Structure 1
Amino acid sequence: MRSFIAIDFDRELKTRIAGLQSEIRRYAVSGRWKHIDNFHLTLKFLGEINPNSVENINRILAGICSSFSPFKLSFSTLGYFPGQEKIRVLWLGLEGDLDKLLCFQKTIDAGLKEEGFEPEKRRFTPHVTIGQDIVLNSVFESIMRLVDPKELPEIRVRSIYLFKSEQINFKRIYTPISEFCLI
């Protein structure tokens, strides 16, 4: 079962992100765009897990979340991870309680090591993916001037989720398996 841990968003925020995504799509020649239901902030990608390990993962995440209080994030910028001849990942950057978010993510990373998940070697870059393999018909910097992620609503992080990721009818579906509330 392919899985990841993430902060999910309410329908209003997902709708607003989709609106911003639509504005950007007008300047794209091609690409794979995230479906509105799949907008989230990934804290840790687990990959393929044994369904029998879910109970232990749940125990670890419940313990971690019980030691963190809710916090706030907001959107800051439009950015991308480059690829060859195209934008590999187009994303929305975040600001706000980033120190708390980074500490939270590192604690999750370290806590899951006991379950056999290696900590991420790359630096955690908090972002919300809106598209992949994007080819634009305009210069990226000119598009950045046309959209303002800061107009999106604030994110109140009160819980995280363990998600299952499945490919159904050529569409990626993310289903929450467990929710963990911050205290």
Structure 2
Amino acid sequence: MRTFIGIDFDIKVKNEIKAIQSIVRENSHKGRFKYMGNFHLTLKFLGDISENQVNIINEVLEKSAQGVGRFSLIVEKLGFFGGKGTIRTLWLGLGGELDSLNALYRNIEAGLGAWGFDKEKRPYTPHITIAQDLLLRTSFEELRKIVDLSRIPNIDVSEVSLIKSEQIQGKRVYTPISTFRLIGK
């Protein structure tokens, strides 16, 4: 089963991200836009895992969640990962209590690494993907000026989840397999 470890958002946050995404859509010729229900923050993409690995991952997540308390994030910028002629990935960059987020990320990486999971080679860049393969009608700088990120409320992070990603009737669907509360030390 295809999986990742992530943080889900409440409906108020998702609604405001959707409003930002609508502005992007209005200013684009084409693109693939994420479904509102799929807005999330990925901590680690796992890819295909076996049923046997779920217990190991859950053990790591439970221990990682015990080491980090609740924290808050803010959306602070609009950015993209490049492409040729199109924007490969348009995202919302995060700020706020990044020390706590990074501690959670490091705990998960170290815990899974001890079980033989590949460690990420690139630096962790926390972001929320809102569109892919995007061809804008306007310049990216113009788009950045008309998008008001301050309307997105703070993201209160209180749990982390192992999430299954599957294609159902042509639509990508994310379903939590297990969720662990951040309880700190």
Q: Could you say which TM-score interval applies, normalised by the shorter chain? A: over 0.9
Unaligned 5+ segments in structure 1 are none
Deviations 1:5-41 (A, max 9, x none): 0010011211111011001110110110000000000
Contact 2:68 2:103 (8 Å CA) reproduced:
no
Contact 1:65 1:182 (8 Å CA) reproduced:
yes
Number of residue pairs the alignment of both structures matches = 183
Aligned to 1:5: 5
Provide runs of 4+ in structure 1 moved above 4 Å: none
Contact 1:77 1:150 (8 Å CA) reproduced:
no
Counterparts of 2:20 and 2:103, CA distance in 1: 29
Counterparts of 1:135 and 1:38, CA distance in 2: 21
Unaligned 5+ segments in structure 2 are none
Aligned to 2:83: 83
Aligned to 2:100: 100
Aligned to 2:126: 126
TM-score by length of 1: 0.98
Aligned to 1:62: 62
What code does the residue aligned with 1:118 have?
D
Residue 15 of structure 2 aligns to a residue whose secondary structure is helix
Deviations 1:52-97 (A, max 9, x none): 1101110111011111111110010111000111101000011101
What are the within-5 Å matches in structure 2 for residues 10-159 of structure 1?
10-159=10-159
- How much has 1:136 moved relative to structure 2? 0.3
Counterparts of 1:85 and 1:165, CA distance in 2: 29
Residue 144 of structure 1 aligns to a residue whose secondary structure is helix
Residue 145 of structure 1 aligns to a residue whose secondary structure is helix
When the two chains are superposed, the root-mean-square deviation of aligned CA atoms in Å is 0.8
Q: Percent identity?
A: 49
Residue 92 of structure 1 aligns to a residue whose secondary structure is strand
Counterparts of 2:56 and 2:182, CA distance in 1: 18
Matched, 1:167 2:167: yes
Counterparts of 1:15 and 1:116, CA distance in 2: 38
Counterparts of 1:16 and 1:151, CA distance in 2: 7
Q: Which moved more, 1:112-121 or 1:2-11?
A: 112-121
Contact 1:6 1:161 (8 Å CA) reproduced:
yes
